[in-house]
Structure 1
Amino acid sequence: MPTHRDLKVWQRSHDLAARIHDVTRGNPAATAPDLVSQIRRSAQSIPANIAEGRGLRTNPQFRRHLDIALGSAAETDAHLSVCLDRDLLSAKLVLDLRDELSTIQRMLVALKGSLPQR
């Protein structure tokens, strides 16, 4: 039986969370530990909610968790704005992360729309 690991959106969001963890590991991002913690947690929440929703095995619960994952993606984007404003991450890196985040958001919306209503 397929699991969350088989979903491309989970794979991409998992990779994004790992990448955000890596890019916030060094200076100057390390000078803002609260922000680093927040962006890491919001990024990690995206694949975690996909996995949890998939594991619950009902479409209404899965849709609800996809909505939560979308909320976490929006939160991650907001944290990226603060990182950019505070010169913690380069503009090029933030743009690249946002591009991937936008793709993940579109995939989440498409996946949610593909689920039967009942």
Structure 2
Amino acid sequence: MEFKFENLIIWQKATDLGEEINTIAYSFPQTELYNLSSQIRRAADSIALNISEGSIEQSSQEFKRFMNYAIRTLAEVVTCIHKAKRRKYITEELFINHYEFAFNLMNMMITFKNKIK
């Protein structure tokens, strides 16, 4: 038995991103515990949460609205990884890996949203 959102590749990738971000956020300095670390973890988790919540809506307009939330939240995560790189909490290589993953996921999410009827 499965929920239909579990079959969505964008939900699977968003869930993976949330786990990756959670792991790296714990390496941030303790001074960031209630700031950038908390913000990036909540935002990264929120992407998959919005996709799943929107998928159970009866109306395609509602699903599109939740997809817009997920897309905007992914942009928030990208901003957070920029900040983490600038503050030297993550390496350039880790930044590039997560940035490219986010870029590809963003394109997939936008394409998916545009195909919702």
Same fold (TM over 0.5): yes
Partner of 2:29, secondary structure, is helix
RMSD (CA atoms): 1.2
- Bigger RCO (CA 8 Å, 6+ sep): 1
C-alpha distance in structure 2 between counterparts of 1:39 and 1:4, whole Å: 23
Letter in 2 for 1:22: T
Flag structure 1 segments of 5+ consecutive residues without an equivalent.
none
| Residue aligning to 2:100 | 99
Percent identical across equivalent pairs?
Answer: 25
| Residue aligning to 2:29 | 30
Q: Which runs of 4+ in 1 moved over 3 A?
A: none
Q: How does 1:39-118 map to 2 (within 5 A)?
A: 39-116=40-117
C-alpha distance in structure 2 between counterparts of 1:98 and 1:55, whole Å: 29
Flag structure 2 segments of 5+ consecutive residues without an equivalent.
none
What TM-score does the superposition give when structure 1 sets the normalisation length? 0.92
C-alpha distance in structure 1 between counterparts of 2:58 and 2:11, whole Å: 16
C-alpha distance in structure 2 between counterparts of 1:107 and 1:2, whole Å: 20
